[in-house]
Structure formats: C-alpha cells, structure tokens
C-alpha cells in the first residue's frame, strides 16, 4: 500500500496568461488578501513560472476584492512559535527557519520579466513591500499605502528598507517609515511611489493597455534593459556601460533586432517573436 500523498491547501493565487501577459491575482478577498504560507509559496512558484515562460513578456500582480494586500496573515503568524520571524509554513504558521532565497520579494527582485503591480485597493506591510518590489505601479484612486510597520513593533522585512529610500530619497523615506502614516493614492503619485492613479472604471483597461505596450516590444531587449537597470544600482557608471555593451552584442544577432530595424525602415509596427 502506497503512502498517502500530502494534501495541498486550496490555491490562493489565480494565474492566467493572455496576449503575452501573465496575471497573478491574490485571491483571498475575505481576509483582504493577507499573505498566508500557502500564498507565499504560490506567489514565488508562479512568478518563476511566468519568468521562465517564453510566451510571457510582462507580469501583472494584483488582488481580488477591495484590497491589494493587507500584509501578512497576523492570525496565522501568532499561531506559530511566539510569532517568530521564520518562514511561514504550508499550514500558515512559522517554521522557525530563516531562508529568504525563495521568498516572494527576493524572487520578484531577481526576475528578468517586467512587472506591474496593479493596486486595486489598499497595500499594507508585506503587501506594500510587494508592490514596491515591482517595476511599475498603477493604482486605483481609492487605494491607500500603509507603511505601518513601526506601529506594529516590527520593520519592513520584505525589502522596504532597501526600496523606499531609492524611490523617494532618504529623508522622505525616513518620514514615511518612522511615522507609519497612511498615504493616499494621490500622495503616493506625488512622491513617485506609483506611476499612475486612475479611476475605478478605467483601472482594468489602463492596466491592460500598459502591459500590452510593454509586451509589444522586443522581449529579449526589454529583459536585458531591466537586468542592466537593476545592475546599475550597485555598479559604477563605467562598469554599467561595459556590462551593457556585453548585453548588446548577442541582441544584435537576434531576429528581433532585424525585425525592429526593418519595421522602422518600412514605417510599420514591428512583430517581435522573442528570438
């Protein structure tokens, strides 16, 4: 008699691919998409799946219901050993281990595929760090960003202390983080934390249009551009220029480069195939 197979919890992240765009939707609206152990695992797995799919040229991360993500599932956290800071296990509680290599913020940061966070509602704590970890953010006008870590006795453990100062400068980041004050969508736009703020009636359409604009370009080139922009965060100007040149050489031999030049000369839209 064979050993019983472990039963996997129901999926809490929906995944779909259409027109070269992969959409990951956090799907626990009853608890405002707070992150459980199951969701942590699924987000990482699906991000890697999308990044490895040659048909995917852009990834959209969004939520269902009225919130994008209200942070970690605190009820599940407290069920763990004294709310320890180890990884969330499959059952939702903490395992006591501390291995961030497969954590969603780290996986997200290392993707080559461009990412858009479609903030359909509020983002708090871990959810805010996930949003900041994406390349581009588009927010519905009612969305709010809540960096309330200091009000909970913790700190942004998922990339926020690295991301926020680079986006808004140290002084602004310090004010945001130290006060923990909730930001409206318009305030986030003024600070540069989101790229666009749109009304609810046009939110889905504008998100899809932005993703489509990215997906229409040469995917190998876009991925290389993203890699070099990320590399530039830790390289000198001279290092990055040399690094970019090494990325350019193989692109010059691609069919997409030929198509891009040909389409320009023929005054038509190019059709890229990712090769």
Give the tens place of pLDDT for each residue, 184-203: 999 999 999 999 999 999 99
CA distance 267 to 269: 7
Q: Is the pLDDT of residue 91 over 80?
A: no
CB 58 within 8 A of CB 215: yes
CA distance 241 to 239: 6
pTM value is: 0.86
What single DSSP character describes residue 94?
B
Torsion-angle region of 26 (φ positive above 0: left; ψ -120 to 50: alpha; else: beta): beta
Q: Is the pLDDT of residue 93 over 70?
A: no
Sequence-distant (≥ 6) Cβ neighbours of residue 195 within 8 angstroms: 136, 137, 138
Confidence of residue 213 (pLDDT cuts 50, 70, 90): very high
Tell me the average pLDDT across 227-241.
Answer: 92
Strand, coil or helix: 123:
strand
CB 57 within 8 A of CB 94: no
Q: Strand 136-140 to strand 183-184: parallel, antiparallel, or no bridges (unpaired)?
A: unpaired
pLDDT computed for residue 98 by the predictor? 53
Nearest one of 63, 60, 8 to 34, comparing CA atoms: 63
State the chain's mean pLDDT as an integer: 86
């Amino acid at each position: 008699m064979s050993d019983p197979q472990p039963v996997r919890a129901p999926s809490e992240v929906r995944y779909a691919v259409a027109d070269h765009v992969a959409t990951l939707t956090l799907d626990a609206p009853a608890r405002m998409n707070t992150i459980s152990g199951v969701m942590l695992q699924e987000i990482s797995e699906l991000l890697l799946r999308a990044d490895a799919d040659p048909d995917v040229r852009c990834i959209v991360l969004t939520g269902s219901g009225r919130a994008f993500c209200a942070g970690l599932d605190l009820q599940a956290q407290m069920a763990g050993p004294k709310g320890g800071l180890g990884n969330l296990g499959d059952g939702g509680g903490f395992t006591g281990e501390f291995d961030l290599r497969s954590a969603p913020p780290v996986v997200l940061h290392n993707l080559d595929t461009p990412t858009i966070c479609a903030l359909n509602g509020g983002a708090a704590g871990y959810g805010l760090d996930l949003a900041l970890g994406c390349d581009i953010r588009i927010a519905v006008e009612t969305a709010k960003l809540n960096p309330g870590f200091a009000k909970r006795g913790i700190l942004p453990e998922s990339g926020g202390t690295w991301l926020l100062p680079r986006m808004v400068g140290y002084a602004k980041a310090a004010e945001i983080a130290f006060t923990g004050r909730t930001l409206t969508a318009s305030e986030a736009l003024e600070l540069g934390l989101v790229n666009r703020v749109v009304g609810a009636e046009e939110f889905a359409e504008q998100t899809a249009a932005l993703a489509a604009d990215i997906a229409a370009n040469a995917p190998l080139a876009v991925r290389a551009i993203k890699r070099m922009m990320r590399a530039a965060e830790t390289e000198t100007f001279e290092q990055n220029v040399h690094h970019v040149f090494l990325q350019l050489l193989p692109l010059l031999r691609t069919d997409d480069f030929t198509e891009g030049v040909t389409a320009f000369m023929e005054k038509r839209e190019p059709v890229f195939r990712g090769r």
